Amino acid sequence: MKSIDRVLKAISYGKPDRIPLVHSLTFYGAKELGISIEDYFSNPENVVEGQVLMQKKYHNDCYWGFYYGSMELEAFGGNSIFFDDCPPNAGVPIIKSLKDIENLKEPDIEECIGLQKVLQTIRLLKQESNGEIPILGGVISPFSLPIMQMGFGKYLDLLIYNREMFWKLMEINKKYSIKWANAQLEAGATAIGYMDPALSPSILNKDLFLETGWLIAKEVIPSIKGSTAIHLASGIVIPIIEEILQTGTQIISVSANEDIGIAKKLAQSRMAVMGNLNGIEMCRWDKADAEEAVKDIIKKAGKGGGLIISDNHGDIPFQVPENVLLAITSAVEKYGVY
């Protein structure tokens, strides 16, 4: 079965030949090519080469068009800090005062060099995939983007104490995020990962969630002209699954700190679950650990479709050995057959 058919069958709660596997191999491609992370992301052809090699090597059921989160800060005029062995991080916040929110402008996607590189990557991956392998794009949600735009502490202050300015910032971010997600779909992405860690109960209490991030997700998700997966970047989701269902997303990521079987039961065939291998623990795993972790997920949530096996955060760390990733693949192919 082709990867695209396998994934589509799984998320519709059908029974594919086996459970789909989506290793979050984003910056890990630099390791595959033996170049620096900054060099890797400097050229779309590097990313395409890395994605193709890793898909063949690890039998991944997708290509990743997503680069790194702080690229979206770059679109607003900020910068990224690159490291030798971990994802790029956001540089100095661009919003230092309320006046900066008043003066903030929505980025022109066509003028953003980084975003254009992502779109070119997706176009090239579409040619490589020949319609057989899904291509995953990604967008930082309007609600989580301010963590990079202004820093976590100042953003929480804004959210709690100045709701008027908060909504002004959200209007700018919503317009940008919708356009950016749809631009990726137009370039050839199969689905969009809606990265929204601030939405998780790990960060936000239920009242604030209902008054802010949830309303934004309910508006933005239907405006994205394709399938979406809400990803909370390791944050828990079970306490808000019913509300997540109301956004219309097709897939939800499940934290390694949660029982994926419970999450799937609560989704009740209305939304597929994705997860929930612990990417940090993977760094210390051997083959037996990897196999046991995969078997546990399949036992809890594999029955009846609706499951995609992946890590719980969205980035496989450089420190995860290749033999562990290969062991995960082997276990999925051995125990994930319907």
State pLDDT tens for residues 77-133.
999 999 999 999 999 999 999 999 999 999 999 999 999 999 999 999 999 999 999
Place of tokens 């062991």: 327
Distance CA 173, CA 95 (A): 13
Query: Which pLDDT score is estimated for 104?
Result: 97
Q: Give the pairing of strands 80-81 and 89-90.
A: antiparallel
Distance CA 217, CA 219 (A): 5
Would you give the distance in Å from CA 44 to the centre of its chain? 19
Q: Is 77 left (phi over 0), alpha (psi -120 to 50) or beta?
A: left
Angle of helix 213-220 versus helix 163-187 axis, rounded to 10? 30
Query: Which pLDDT score is estimated for 268?
Result: 87
Give the residue among 270, 169, 183, 259 at the shortest CA–CA distance from 213: 169
What is the total count of domains within the chain? Answer: 1
Residue-wise DSSP of 3-54: HHHHHHHHHTT---SB--EE---STHHHHHHTS-HHHHTT-HHHHHHHHHHH
Sign of CA dihedral 68, 179, 240, 263: negative
Identify the segments of the chain with pLDDT beneath 70. Answer: none
Contact 306, 269 (CB under 8 A): yes
Sign of CA dihedral 237, 19, 191, 137: positive
Distance CA 322, CA 310 (A): 15
Domain that holds residue 34: 3-335
Contact 237, 258 (CB under 8 A): yes
Distance CA 66, CA 124 (A): 13
**CATH number for 162:** 3.20.20.210
Query: Which pLDDT score is estimated for 25?
Result: 96
Contact 232, 255 (CB under 8 A): yes
- Residue 332: both structure tokens together: 């999925």
Angle of helix 163-187 versus helix 113-129 axis, rounded to 10? 40
Residue-wise DSSP of 132-173: SS-EEEEEE-TTTTHHHHH-HHHHHHHHHH-HHHHHHHHHHH
Residue ranges with strand state E in the chain? 21-22, 63-64, 80-81, 89-90, 135-140, 191-195, 227-231, 251-254, 272-277, 307-311
Q: Residue 232 belongs to what H/E stretch?
A: none
- Residue 216: both structure tokens together: 């934004």
